[in-house]
């Protein structure tokens, strides 16, 4: 395992982030820079996917990191990890940006997003973070494929397309209540599928470890 200045392991990541956010609160620009180095890439990738526009994506990422700088207390470590929180902020801002754009463009993007889920992108960087994020992405794609089509559609139109529940209802000619239920079930099933896949990954790692000592 290569040594790196980033968090020593996933399990320590939350503590690492909480400490950096605390330092940001004390006015330490270095801490902001370290958070940026670690999370700018997934943040920018997400913003770019949702907005479909590099300039919008840059704006969103800068706004979100500036918000961390200005109001670090808005992140509460007791309420979950920093990555979840930061990427949720990036996602919400991206969706807001998209909603300001005209509907036609969004429709095209959403369809692209749904269609593009199976596409695996050629590796552009070999750093550990990127490889790990790629594996993580593959796991989510697997989990998404296990969802019923109607649930996957509701979820991806919302998350990647930036559509509201009402818009999805009219887009897919489905009653609003059904869309809400599908979305809720999709998130629930996704969690279950991800937990199963994580368990499987743990087993595989254990197998390998045992195999290595024989």
Please give the residues from 8 up to 27 whose contact with another protein meets the rule CB under 8 A: 26-27
Shorter beta-carbon distance to another protein: residue 191 or 207 = 191
- Whole-number minimum distance, CB 62 to another protein, in Å? 5
- Report the alpha-carbon distance of residue 176 to residue 92 in Å, rounded: 21
Q: Is 29 exposed, middle or buried (0-12, 13-18, 19+ CB in 10 A)?
A: exposed
Selected from 12, 138, 196, 202, the binder of another protein by CB under 8 A is: 138
- Whole-number minimum distance, CB 135 to another protein, in Å? 9
83-87 LR contacts (CB < 8 Å, sep 24+): 83/13, 83/17, 83/39, 83/42, 86/35, 86/39, 86/43, 87/39, 87/42, 87/43, 87/46
Q: Which residues contact 95 (CB under 8 A, 6 or more apart)?
A: 50, 162
Interface region with another protein, contact rule CB under 8 A, candidates 7-15, 103-111, 153-161, 199-207: 153-161
**108 contacts another protein (rule: CB under 8 A):** no
**71 contacts another protein (rule: CB under 8 A):** no
Q: How many residues does the chain have?
A: 214
Conformation bin of residue 173: beta by default, left when phi > 0, alpha when psi is -120 to 50:
left
- Whole-number minimum distance, CB 2 to another protein, in Å? 19
**Which 116-135 positions form the footprint of another protein (CB under 8 A)?**
116-117, 119, 121, 124-125, 130, 133-134
Interface region with another protein, contact rule CB under 8 A, candidates 8-16, 102-110, 137-145, 200-208: 137-145
Interface region with another protein, contact rule CB under 8 A, candidates 14-22, 87-95, 103-111, 200-208: 87-95
**107 contacts another protein (rule: CB under 8 A):** no
- Whole-number minimum distance, CB 8 to another protein, in Å? 20
Shorter beta-carbon distance to another protein: residue 70 or 207 = 70
Identify the residue whose tokens are 């045992």: 210
**30 contacts another protein (rule: CB under 8 A):** yes
- Report the alpha-carbon distance of residue 150 to residue 108 in Å, rounded: 19
**114 contacts another protein (rule: CB under 8 A):** no
Alpha helices in 101-127 (DSSP H): 103-115
**88 contacts another protein (rule: CB under 8 A):** yes
């Amino acid at each position: 395992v290569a040594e790196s200045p980033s968090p020593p392991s996933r399990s320590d990541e939350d503590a690492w982030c909480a400490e950096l956010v605390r330092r940001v609160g004390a006015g330490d620009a270095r801490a902001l820079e370290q958070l940026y180095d670690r999370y700018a890439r997934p943040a920018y990738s997400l913003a770019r996917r949702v907005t479909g526009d590099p300039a919008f994506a840059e704006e969103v990422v800068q706004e979100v990191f500036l918000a961390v700088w200005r109001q670090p207390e808005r992140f509460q470590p007791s309420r979950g990890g920093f990555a979840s929180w930061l990427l949720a902020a990036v996602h919400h801002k991206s969706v807001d940006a998209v909603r300001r754009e005209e509907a036609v463009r969004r429709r095209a993007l959403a369809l692209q997003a749904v269609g593009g889920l199976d596409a695996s992108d050629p590796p552009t960087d070999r750093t550990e973070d990127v490889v790990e994020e790629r594996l993580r992405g593959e796991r989510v794609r697997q989990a998404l494929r296990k969802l019923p089509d109607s649930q996957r559609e509701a979820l991806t139109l919302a998350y990647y397309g930036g559509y509201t529940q009402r818009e999805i209802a009219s887009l897919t000619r489905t009653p609003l209540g059904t869309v809400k239920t599908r979305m809720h079930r999709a998130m629930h099933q996704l969690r279950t599928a991800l937990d199963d896949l994580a368990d499987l990954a743990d087993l595989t790692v254990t197998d390998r470890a045992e195999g290595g000592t024989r």
